[in-house]
Amino acid sequence: MLSAFRSALATPDLRKKILFTLMIVAVYRIGAVMPAPGVSYPNVQACQAQLQDQSFFSLLNLFSGGALLQLSIFATGIMPYITASIIVQLLTVVIPRFEELKKEGQAGQGKLTQYTRYLTIALAILQATGIIALADRGGLFGECSQPVLPDNSVYTLALTVLTMTAGTAVMMWLGELITERGVGNGMSLLIFLNIAARIPAEGGNILNNQGGLVFFFVCLLGLAIIASVIFVEQGQRRIPVQYAKRMIGRRMYGGTSTYLPIKVNQAGVIPVIFASSLLYLPNLIGSLIGDQNEASTWQRFLQTYLVDQSSWVHITLYFALIIFFTYFYITITFNVDERAEEMKKFGGFIPGIRPGRPTAEYLGFVLSRITLPGSIYLGIVAILPNFFLSITGQGNNQNFPFGGTAVLIMVGVGLDTVKQIESQLMQRNYEGFLR
């Protein structure tokens, strides 16, 4: 393990890449704690100290690494980009032009990415406005008397919104720089960072509030969860594919036997993100249009059943949504007909099954069977922290770094990044991290 680290650093171009990534990360973290203009830093700090219940913005705050509640220049976090990507991804099903672009390959994909980036900026403006409006009305910090935005003239607030939007653009650029010149996928690495940055604080919280023994067990549990998540993430079914030999000109192609890997959890962590964003939507709407002081009946209904993360309605709904979205997302991303068609085109077939429609049917069959345990596993990992409310303290559960969304994202991104470093090492014949 350690020798792998040494050889990774001994390779000149890989060392350069890793150092570049670290530099970007440093820039990003500095930006995440720098208060936006118009925001009163001392007041924000005072309000944060008062804040007990973070459940309301847990997801947003999770994706911004605590930058949201700091009202920093990167307060919107990576969320606009994620939302934009999800929307564009979904639109490829709805709008024929998008579907064409997606099928076009590299160039079309580039165009889709470009659309995603435009949409990101639009969403960033929306979200920044929302955050500022909420902070101005005092909704962001609950019962905090100090004004976080002392000068609330329209001009100053607009300036703050503009700065946050530009911050989102910068964040996007930083992510792309990492993708281009560093290691791993920049955007997901930034999310990873946001989550990882919270671990020491959360751990310290538990240590202070609950004592050493509980802390020890939580660490043990966290390690067990991480190990099991890695186990499932790596699991895949390999469907053998045989390619026919063919002559093109004077050269012989094909004749190889490979396999089509189908992961147990083909959808990754995206269903969890979908489900949690959807669940927190009614909450957000309620807080935006409702009055803070007197809650109406339906608001109280929402509060007890949907918002409260320890209620069984919330947990069941969350679980069901995750299973639904897993299937939904896999049918979107993994098109069995397309795969079967591709295989047929290049002279490949699954032994014992005719190419064309039967192959597509077989792939669909395998995929839906293997996704069932995959989706149940996703659901279980995601709702795990809801059962540990007493340990982590009310409202901190999805932020809790040893379970739920956080662990899924961390492990997914971590594995991906390590694999990329390893493939770079392999080019130079070094032994990698994973054996």
Partner 1 sequence: MKLFLQILLIVTSVLLIVAVLLHRGRGGGLSSLFGGGMQSSLAGSSVAEKNLDRITLGLGAVWLIAIVGLGLLVKI
- By CB under 8 A, name the one of 33, 51, 91, 121 that touches partner 1: 121
Our finding on whether 34 is near partner 1 (CB under 8 A) is yes
Closest separation between CB of residue 415 and partner 1, Å? 6
- By CB under 8 A, name the one of 3, 45, 52, 113 that touches partner 1: 113
Closest separation between CB of residue 40 and partner 1, Å? 4
Q: Which residues contact 330 (CB under 8 A, 6 or more apart)?
A: 266, 267, 367, 371
Task: Name which of 263 and 314 has its Cβ closer to partner 1.
Answer: 263
- Part of the chain binding partner 1 (CB under 8 A), chosen from 38-46, 199-207, 242-250, 288-296: 38-46
Q: Phi and psi for 151 in degrees, rounded to 5?
A: -100, 90
Q: From the centroid of its chain, how far is CA 129?
A: 23
Our finding on whether 163 is near partner 1 (CB under 8 A) is yes
What count of other Cβ atoms lies within 10 Å of the Cβ of residue 22?
12
Our finding on whether 109 is near partner 1 (CB under 8 A) is yes
- What are the CA-CA distances from residue 228 to residues 214, 225, 365, 404, 408 (Å)? 21, 5, 26, 13, 11
Comparing C-alpha atoms, which of 427, 383, 387, 388 is closest to residue 408?
383
How far apart CA 435 and CA 419 sit, in angstroms, is: 11
- By CB under 8 A, name the one of 19, 145, 150, 204 that touches partner 1: 150
Site pattern 313..352 for partner 1 (x: CB under 8 A): --------------------x-------------------
How far apart CA 242 and CA 92 sit, in angstroms, is: 31
Our finding on whether 37 is near partner 1 (CB under 8 A) is yes
Residues in 220-279 at the binding interface with partner 1, rule: CB under 8 A:
233, 268-270
Comparing C-alpha atoms, which of 353, 357, 367 is closest to residue 337?
357
Task: Name which of 333 and 368 has its Cβ closer to partner 1.
Answer: 333
Closest separation between CB of residue 407 and partner 1, Å? 12
Comparing C-alpha atoms, which of 138, 131, 174, 123 is closest to residue 36?
131
- By CB under 8 A, name the one of 49, 107, 154, 180 that touches partner 1: 180
Contact 20, 184 (CB under 8 A): no
- By CB under 8 A, name the one of 114, 209, 258, 296 that touches partner 1: 114
- By CB under 8 A, name the one of 86, 133, 196, 317 that touches partner 1: 86
- By CB under 8 A, name the one of 7, 33, 56, 89 that touches partner 1: 89
Our finding on whether 41 is near partner 1 (CB under 8 A) is yes
- By CB under 8 A, name the one of 47, 67, 75, 82 that touches partner 1: 82
Q: Which residues of 89-105 are buried (b: 16+ CB within 10 A; e: fewer)?
A: bebbeeeeebeebbeee
Our finding on whether 301 is near partner 1 (CB under 8 A) is no
How far apart CA 332 and CA 335 sit, in angstroms, is: 7
Closest separation between CB of residue 82 and partner 1, Å? 8
Our finding on whether 11 is near partner 1 (CB under 8 A) is no
How far apart CA 40 and CA 294 sit, in angstroms, is: 29
- Part of the chain binding partner 1 (CB under 8 A), chosen from 93-101, 109-117, 223-231, 386-394: 109-117
Our finding on whether 187 is near partner 1 (CB under 8 A) is yes
Our finding on whether 77 is near partner 1 (CB under 8 A) is no
What is the total count of residues that contact partner 1 (CB under 8 A)? 55
Q: For the residues of 329-345, what is the DSSP string, one character each? A: HHHHH--HHHHHHHHHH
Our finding on whether 423 is near partner 1 (CB under 8 A) is yes
How far apart CA 164 and CA 156 sit, in angstroms, is: 12
Structure tokens at 419: 């694999």
- By CB under 8 A, name the one of 126, 134, 169, 317 that touches partner 1: 169
Q: Which contiguous run of DSSP H or E holds residue 153?
A: none
Q: Is the dihedral of CA 397, 402, 403, 407 positive or negative?
A: positive
Where along the sequence are the contacts to partner 1 (CB under 8 A)? 34-38, 40-41, 43, 73, 82, 85-86, 88-89, 109-110, 112-114, 116-118, 121, 150-151, 159, 162-163, 165-166, 169-170, 172-173, 175-176, 179-180, 185-188, 233, 268-270, 333, 409, 412-413, 415-416, 419-420, 423
